[in-house]
Amino acid sequence: MNFKYLVKLSLRTFITRPARTFLTILAMGVGISAILIFVSLGYGLQKMMLEQITTEEALLTLDVSSPSSEVLTLTKEKISEISKIENVEEVSPLAFFSGQITLEKENLTGDTTFNVCLPSYFRLEGIAPKFGKVFENEKERKVVISSALAKSFNLEEEKAIGKQVKINLFLVKTTETGEEKTEIFEIKEPYTISGVIDDDVTSYVYVPIQTLENLNIEEFSNVKVKVKDGRFLKQVSEKLINMGFMVSSLSETVEEANKVFKAIQITLGIFGVVALIVAAIGMANTMTVSLLERTNEIGIMKAIGASDRDIENMFLFEAIVISLLGGLTGILINFGVSKFLNALVNTLAKALGGQAVTLFYTPLWFLIFIIVFSVLVGIFSGIFPAKRGAKMDPLEALRYK
């Protein structure tokens, strides 16, 4: 039997039994869409979390800090030594100070924490402001504040941009007798707020390091160390640990988070598989009923020369076409439901003052996998009726009523 007649005979059921065939395809589509929707939700939550906490550069960055014993400190000399380690591409130090910030025009003053750093620190930390932008020049008199600090001044985050502030730093110095003494380092020139970071919990300010040259910072709290490639993270980390520093990596946190989300995706996928199994059973039942209805037809085909292989191919091809259409229907249902739920969630988020999010994300490779998987389900659902039809005796098939 040539391919043209095989296709024509296999697809007769779409004409003779359109309602049943449509319902079978729909059931298969619902089962496939259940897997897609549940797994896409897992991928969407994972993608949303990673976009919130990290960037590509942040994943190549190590956080280096001094041990709690304070025997080893992050001095300028040590940072220079770190920058010379093989495969280290960039270093960006950070110093902490407590102090006071004054909103000049409103004459409001509050206590806060000051993070003195280079502009590159934002990029390596993966920080992006909610409003405005970070300072791009280490000598420009601009600061970036947290939304918690803005709210402590009763300022709307967006309206804080462009406000003038003055800064006083509290410096703790040790006297010759070993006593700690706090001095106030007053900065006379004002700064302009250029950006606001979305953090309603902690009050802090980022200040360009070169605007505090007179402070002569000798020790730093931590330093960001970016490596040239992810392959060198472990190698550079080991060298820093051997130097006596404490080292952590955001990539390790992301890796652990990915493991958790992988478990969530598998769990959600299992729920979808249950729906697919039910649909596959329904499809196998449809193919069996189709076999019984076409028993006389099989007898006639065999009587005029059709081989067992022709009969088997006819039913298998029919099952594959139905399952493939079911897979494509499932993909369409997935996109429709995902778009609707995303729109619904974002409408509620905007009404409550939140930000738009993407709850569902379906990787291209997973869509290809679903199509291949649909074909396999069709093969397994149709193989029993196909084998049974191929083995029928022509005379018995012609007598069947």
Interval 260-299: pLDDT, tens: 777 777 777 777 677 777 777 777 777 777 776 777 776 7
> Side chain identity at 292, as an amino acid letter?
L
Instruction: Pull the structure tokens for residue 373.
Output: 């998987």
User: Residue 106 phi/psi, 5° resolution?
Assistant: -85, -10
Three-class SS state of 385: helix
- Give the pLDDT score at 355: 64
Backbone angles phi, psi at 86, to 5 degrees: -60, 135
Strand-pair category, 108-117 with 131-132: unpaired
How many C-beta atoms surround the C-beta of residue 266 within 10 A?
11
- pLDDT for position 115: 94
Is residue 216 within 8 Å of 116, Cβ to Cβ? no
Q: Are 107 and 113 in contact (CB under 8 A)?
A: no
Domain ranges of the chain: 3-54+256-399, 67-244
User: How far is residue 323 from each of residues 136, 329, 332, 382, 384, measured CA to CA in Å?
Assistant: 56, 10, 14, 10, 15
At 180 the pLDDT is 72
The pTM for the full model equals 0.59
Measuring CA to CA, how many Å separate 342 from each of 44, 333, 357, 359? 11, 14, 7, 6
Q: How far is CA 190 from CA 143, 163, 166, 231, in A?
A: 10, 10, 5, 44
Taking each helix axis from N to C terminus, what angle separates 18-53 and 250-293, rounded to the nearest 10 degrees? Answer: 180
- Which three-class secondary structure state does DSSP give residue 170? strand
Name the one residue in this structure whose structure tokens are 């493939």. Answer: 324
- State how far the alpha carbon of 35 is from the alpha carbons of 269, 270, 342, 386, in Å: 5, 8, 17, 27
Tokens representing 150?
A: 């803005």
Helical axes 364-390 vs 308-351, angle rounded to 10°: 150
Q: What parts of the chain have a pLDDT lower than 70?
A: 1-10, 12-13, 49-56, 68-71, 174-178, 251-258, 272, 292, 298, 305-306, 352-356, 390, 393-401
**Residue 354: its pLDDT value, please?**
61
pLDDT at position 56, please?
Answer: 67
Eight-class DSSP state of 356? -
- Computed over its alpha carbons, how large is the radius of gyration of the chain? 33
Nearest to 74 by CA among 116, 112, 124, 136: 116
Alpha carbon of 257 to those of 37, 41, 250, 299, 362: distances in Å?
A: 21, 15, 10, 60, 19
Determine the Cα–Cα distance for residues 82 and 241; give it in Å rounded to an integer: 11
